[in-house]
Structure 1
Amino acid sequence: YRYVKIAIKLAENRNARDCMGDVLAVGGQVMGYVEPLPSINDVMIRGHEYSLKTGNISSASMSLAGSMVCEYWSGKQLSVVKSTMDDTLRRMSAQCVVPLLMQFLPFYRSALAMIGKVDDVPMVFGSRADVETEEERKMTETNLHLLKSTHFNKMYVGFMFRRYDEVKQLADAHDAIAALPFSAILISHCFHMFYWGLISFWVARKTGDVIWYDRGKEAVQKMRSYANFSSWNFLNKSLLLQAEQYFYLKEFESAKRCYDDAISFAKDYRFVHEEALACELAGYFLVERGERTSSLPYFLRAQR
C-alpha cells in the first residue's frame, strides 16, 4: 500500500500522464484493502479518465471493471450498478477488449441474478451477455482468472439463494481451483474469501465434517487481518464470519452478539446488502435454535 501511494505521488509530481492510468488501475486494487471502498471507486474513475486521454484502452477497461467491482460490493443500488455495467460491457465489446470482457461477464451475471428477471441486457459478440457461451466455457480451460471468476460467481449466487446441493458441489472443487496460480492482487479476492468462509461454515453445519470448519476458520483469520487494516471495509464481514463460527461451535450467546454487531457495523459503513445478509443469516440461526418468533424481525429487516 505504501509503495502504491509513493508511485501515485511520483507520477503526479512528474506529471507522468502516460503511466498514471496504469498506476491507478493496478494500485487501486491494493488500496481497496486499506481505504473505504467508495473512495476506491473514485480512484478507478480517475484511472479510467487518465487512460482515455492517453489512448490506453486496456488500462481504461481495467479501471472501468475495477469501478464496477467497487460499486457492486459497496452496496450501491443494483439498478444503478446494472446501468453502469451495461455501458461498460458495450464499451469493452466495441473496443474488442476480449480477455477482460470475458472475465467480467460472470460477475455481471451475478448482479443480474440479484436483481431478478431482466430483459434488457447488452449483446456481446452476437450473444446476450446473460447467457454463458461455448466460447467462454472453452476459455476457462486455459484462462485461470476466468475459471476462478466463473466458479466463484456460480457458487456465490447459489449461496445467496440457499441452493445447498449446487453450492456443495461447487465448493467441493473450490480448493483445487483456488490453489491455481494467479499473480495479481485484486480487491475482489477479499470478497471471495468472505463468501467462501460463509459457505464453508454452512457446509460444516450440514455435514458435520471438520474439514469445512477448518476452511471457515481460515477465512475468519484472513478477514480479521483485513479488518486490522480497514475496519470500514472488513469489520462487519469479520464479525459475520465469527458469528457463523460460533454457530457451528454451539456458542450461541457469542454467535447472537456477533450477528447483531455485524448488522450494526454494516449499517454504519453503509454496506446495505451485507446488512441484509447478516440479518438473513441471523434469522436462519434463530430458526435453527427454535426461536422462530425472534427470527421474524431479522427476516423483515433483511427485506427492506
Structure 2
Amino acid sequence: MSPVSPIGFAYYGSYLAKQGNINEGYHYVKLALSLLDKVGSRENAGVVIFVCTQVKIYVEPLQAALEYHHEGYAAAMASGDSSQAVINTLLNCIGSFFAGANLQRMEDLFADTVKLCEERHQLNYKFQAQQVQRSLSKLIGTGKEPKHSSEGRDVLASNSSVLRSYHYHTAYISFIFRSYDDTIENIEKYFALQENTWGILFLAQAVHAFHTGLISFWVARK
C-alpha cells in the first residue's frame, strides 16, 4: 500500500456506489478510511473523507454520517488543502439543510460557508452555497437575494454543474410555493443540462432525483 491508496479505494468505492452497488462501494470506502492512519500520510485525508462520507450517507444515519465532514475539514486545513476544506464544509451544510436542520441556524452556517469560500477564493463552491442560501431565505420568509460578483456571474454562465444547481434550486422553491410557470421553466432547463461533471456519488444526486420526481408528477397532473 502507498500513501495514495486510500484515494484510489475511496474513488473506486464511490464509483461502484454511483453505479448502484451501494454495499460494495460502502465496503471500499470503509477500507479507504481505515488505511488513512496506516499508510503514514494524512496529506490527502480531506479528499478521502469527503468522497467516503458522501457514500456513508447512503448507508448510515444521515445526521451522524455528516459529522465526518468536520473531520474532513480539519484534515484538509491541516494539510493546507483549502479546496477540500471548503467542499467538506459545503457538503456538510447542504446535507444538514436537506436533513431538516433548523433553518435559522442553517442561515448562519451558510453565511460562514460563503465567507470561507471568499477567503479561500473558491468561486464555484461559493456560488453553490449561495443557491442554498437563496432557498433558505425564501423558506424563512426574508427573501434575501445573494449578491453575485462579476466573477460569480461568469461562473454561472460557464459552469454547467453550477447552472444545473441554480435551476434545481429555483425549480425546488417555485414548486414549494406552487409557482407553476417558474417551476416548469427551471425544471426544463435543469433536465436539459446533463450531469457530466462528477463520476462519484453525492447526497445531492438522491435529493435532486426525489424533488424532480415530485415536480414531474405535479406537472403531469396539471
Smaller-chain TM-score range? 0.7 to 0.9
Q: Deviations over 1:172-227 (max 9, x none)?
A: 333211x2412242211110111001000100000xxxxxxxxxxxxxxxxxxxxx
Structure 2 CA distance for aligned equivalents of residues 90 and 36 of structure 1? 29
Structure 2 CA distance for aligned equivalents of residues 118 and 147 of structure 1? 21
- The one-letter code matched in structure 1 to 2:115 is R
SS in 2 for 1:33: coil
Structure 1 CA distance for aligned equivalents of residues 143 and 170 of structure 2? 18
How big is the alpha-carbon RMSD for the aligned residues of Structure 1 and Structure 2?
1.8
**Structure 2: stretches of 5+ with no match in the other structure:** 1-25
Q: Deviations over 1:112-153 (max 9, x none)?
A: 21111167xxxxxxxxx7235554343233212101111101
Give the TM-score normalised by structure 1: 0.61
Residue in 1 that maps onto 2:62: 37
Of the candidates 147, 152, 170, which is equivalent to residue 168 of structure 2?
152
Residue in 2 that maps onto 1:75: 100
Per chain length, whose mean CA-contact separation is higher, i.e. which structure has more relative contact order (CA < 8 Å, sep 6+)?
Answer: 2
Structure 2 CA distance for aligned equivalents of residues 199 and 152 of structure 1? 11
Structure 2 CA distance for aligned equivalents of residues 92 and 189 of structure 1? 22
1:216-231 pair list within 5 angstroms? none
Residue in 2 that maps onto 1:13: 38
Q: 1:72 to 1:149 in 2, by over 3 A?
A: same
- Whether the 8 Å contact between 1:44 and 1:63 is mirrored in structure 2 is yes
- Whether the 8 Å contact between 2:138 and 2:173 is mirrored in structure 1 is yes
Q: Which structure: larger Rg?
A: 1
Structure 1 CA distance for aligned equivalents of residues 86 and 45 of structure 2? 14
Query: Number of aligned pairs?
Result: 196
- The one-letter code matched in structure 2 to 1:190 is A
Identity %: 28
SS in 1 for 2:31: helix
Structure 2 CA distance for aligned equivalents of residues 137 and 90 of structure 1? 17
Q: Give, in angstroms, the shift of residue 162 of structure 1.
A: 0.9
Residue in 2 that maps onto 1:225: none
Is residue 136 from structure 1 mapped to residue 152 from structure 2 by the alignment?
A: yes
Of the candidates 189, 201, 220, which is equivalent to residue 173 of structure 1?
189
Give the TM-score normalised by structure 2: 0.82
Structure 1 CA distance for aligned equivalents of residues 187 and 101 of structure 2? 28
- The one-letter code matched in structure 1 to 2:186 is L
Residue in 2 that maps onto 1:217: none
- Whether the 8 Å contact between 1:40 and 1:70 is mirrored in structure 2 is no
- The one-letter code matched in structure 1 to 2:196 is P
Q: 1:55 to 1:134 in 2, by over 3 A?
A: closer
- The one-letter code matched in structure 2 to 1:182 is T
Structure 2 CA distance for aligned equivalents of residues 25 and 78 of structure 1? 24
Of the candidates 173, 185, 193, which is equivalent to residue 209 of structure 2?
193
Structure 2 CA distance for aligned equivalents of residues 87 and 169 of structure 1? 31
Q: 1:150 to 1:3 in 2, by over 3 A?
A: same
Structure 2 CA distance for aligned equivalents of residues 19 and 8 of structure 1? 11
- Whether the 8 Å contact between 2:131 and 2:166 is mirrored in structure 1 is yes
- Whether the 8 Å contact between 1:103 and 1:145 is mirrored in structure 2 is no
Residue in 1 that maps onto 2:197: 182
Structure 1 CA distance for aligned equivalents of residues 185 and 162 of structure 2? 19
Q: Give, in angstroms, the shift of residue 5 of structure 1.
A: 0.9
Q: Give, in angstroms, the shift of residue 171 of structure 1.
A: 2.2
